[in-house]
Chain A
Amino acid sequence: MKTHIIPAIRLTLVLLVILSVIYPLVVAGVGRLAPGGGKGETVTVNGKVVGYTLVGQKFTEDRYFNSRPSAVEYNAAGSAGSNKGPSNPDYLKTVQVRIDTFLVHNPGIRKEDIPTELVTASGSGLDPDLSPVAAKIQVARIAKTRGISADRLTKLVDAQTTGPLIGLLGPSTVNVLKLNVALDALK
């Protein structure tokens, strides 16, 4: 023990310099060259920052494409999921309420067409995306609220859709913030 304690402390100190000082500083340095300068990429409208591209935000108004439910109400300084188990009766009641609310705001939509992601909370509480299906099911409502043709809105969703990686891997996604910025720019 005694013969090892001094080398242990000295070794720890030199490794601290390499791993906790030099390594993160070099990564931060490279980050300056990345989009957003390593501080996170932002979306700007009329010179004002309205959000971070990757960090989802709350959209609940009828005139916007709504984002998914969030266990932390899109608090980007306290990410978390709901951690509700699949059989929890209180949780199933919450989902039922979300379904009913969605049907009230989107008359004419059949219950069996609501994709589950619109009534379940994401893992981070900050999910920035929707699937194209979940965006398009909101088109009729937005068309009515804004007086824009459903056709143009569907095309907008298509234009904002990111396909799978190299056309093969993973789901198609629509970034809700970018979609809504583009929606405001229509007219």
Chain B
Amino acid sequence: MYGLTVLWAIPLGKYIATVFKPGSANGPLERFIYRVGGIDPTREMTWKENLVALLTINAVWLALAFVLLLFQGSLPLNPDGNPSMTPDLAFNTAISFMVNCDLQHYSGESGATYLTQLVVMNFLMFVSAATGIAALLLIIRSFLPKVVDTVGNFYVFFVKAITRILLPISFVVALLLVINGTPASFDGKDTIVTMQGDTVNVSRGPAAGMIAIKHVGTNGGGWFGANSAHPLENPNYFTNIVEMVAQVLLPIAMLFALGFLINRRRFTWVVYGVMTLGMLCLLIPTLVTEIHGNPAIAQLGVSQPTGAMEGKEVRFGPLASAYWSILTTIISTGSVNSMHDSSMALSGTMELLGMMTNAFYGGCGVGFLNYYYYLIIAVFISGLMVGRTPELFGRKVEAREIKIASIVALLSTLLVKGGVALAAWVFINYGDADWVVKPSAWLNNPGNHGFSEMLYEFTSANANNGSGFEGLGDNNFFWNYATGIVLILGRFIPIIGPVAIAGLLAQKKYVPESSGTLPIDTGTFGLMTFAVIMIITALSFFPALALGPLAEYFSLN
């Protein structure tokens, strides 16, 4: 499955590079969109102006999404008669989809309408993924020798990311899903009487298109509550492969595209190597522990021929479920084909680590942006170690850049651990507060696992991942607002930071690389970057992991 992904990612990367090469032509569809949008595609902008453009259009989407969700119950295309969202839930959901996270505190069957699924969720999935890709393209000039003030045009990158990449690939994926039985029609719920005589409502809807972009754009928000574990959302082993490949494809392809665009293939391969090494470190323990099954169930005396099965589907089995659970957490998709809350304690640790690093492949475009600030820190530390001026592609990395990179790195720790601390404090001191869900009833599991549920929620929000330990009672005022704020900071700070660093670097004097330069396209430097990523993550999060899944692991074995 993985080999298949890489095999397609390389030519796709080449194609993406030609789409975004400076001066590449615009087709009739793009010209139409620019004309209606009132955009001059030839206009070059500075990094600051590009960021303003990016943030402005995101604000427009947020407002639109919020209003629609708030009134969805009274709007058309609501065959199941689902209610409008409460303000706190609408706040959380609108932000969550705008930032490419897709944390869902509602269930698609009962909490959204066909109108909002299409105009809010499906729409934001496309545009948020395109925003990520465009943001990555904004840093490319800083890798090239020319000294520049302008870094390109956000709108052009954004529009082309949709018309040339996201829409065509999603369409193909949607067709494969439809052929295999995923619904696509606008009919509402159906009522049937089962063979045992139970009357059951079956939710349906125009789901296939959204499920396609949910993976292609590394979004992850499900049409149905159970996400890709739902048999209509992911009907069989073949569609499981399709969805799996679709979500990993662009993160890897973007990396190769970057290599072609800046003409440094060796550097790309080193980055790819580091990311793959990171993936394997998380994947292998997860596979082993899931196949091994749950030790507590083994004690009850039943056989576990296929491994741990709680929260898993028979048609996928633990192997494909474990593989999915790691890939979806490292690349920020956050769709699930098994319930992570029920995965083994060690797997839970690995899923959390995947989101905490968030740079092993990472989300559409933003994966490399996360890697980029680790890279800046690695360049700086190695520069100090060997006594040379830290440089990145012929540009001096100085105090200002390091400050930005460090703030970005530290902020995620603050958001996650600060959030969990606040939640734990409320849980303990205000357990009986008169909220929709009493804090004392938040957790679905006692002890360390309950702590993990809160840790997972904030980690997922900060990483813009969107998967969850879904046992958490999260549709209430506290979680909707708290994670909403974390979501927005966890999205835009890691975009603004790297784009600012790159914009600053691009304006600096270019000094050709010489024997005095620290080479960054070697295996040694790759290992150095890997070490930096691991050390920062371990220092930031190890105490929290020790209290949650690690403690559970040791108590189970």
Contact = CB atoms under 8 A, between A and B. Distances in A.
Interface of A: 1, 4-16, 18-21, 23-24, 26-28, 30-32, 34-42, 45, 48-61, 64, 68, 74-92, 95-96, 99, 111-117, 119-131, 133-134, 164-165, 169-171, 173, 177, 180-181, 184
Contacts, number: 368
A81 B296 contact: no
Contact of A77 (B60, B123, B195, B201): B201
A132 to B, nearest CB: 10
A1 B122 CA distance: 26
B309 A81 contact: no
A115 B302 contact: yes
Find the residue from A13, A64, A88, A126 having the highest chain B CB count within 10 A. Answer: A88
A138 to B, nearest CB: 14
B434 interface: no
Contact size range, B: 35 or more
A83 B241 CA distance: 24
Contact of A116 (B32, B293, B336): B293
Contacts of B310: 81-82, 84, 86, 91, 120-121
Interface string B53-68: 1001101110010000
B60 A50 contact: no
B301 A99 contact: yes
Nearest to B303: A112
A130 B305 CA distance: 13
Contacts of B23: none
19 contacts: A14-B33, A16-B119, A20-B119, A20-B123, A40-B181, A40-B190, A54-B231, A54-B235, A78-B109, A84-B444, A123-B226, A123-B338, A124-B224, A124-B226, A124-B230, A129-B313, A131-B306, A131-B314, A170-B240
Interface stretch (B137-145, B341-349, B486-494): B341-349
B193 A7 contact: no
A58 B198 contact: yes
Contacts of B187: 39
Contacts of A171: 237, 306, 314-317
B181 A36 contact: yes
A76 B183 CA distance: 14
Contact of A11 (B37, B301, B344): B37
Interface in B133-185: 155, 159, 162, 167, 170-171, 174-175, 178-179, 181, 183-185
A24 B316 contact: no
A13 B241 CA distance: 34
B36 interface: yes
A115 B305 contact: yes
Contact of A12 (B64, B109, B306): B64
B127 interface: yes
Given A58-B194, A59-B195, A37 B185 contact: yes
Contacts of A127: 231, 313-315
A20 B68 CA distance: 14
Given A95-B297, A113-B303, A77 B181 contact: no
A11 B167 CA distance: 16
Contacts of B447: 87
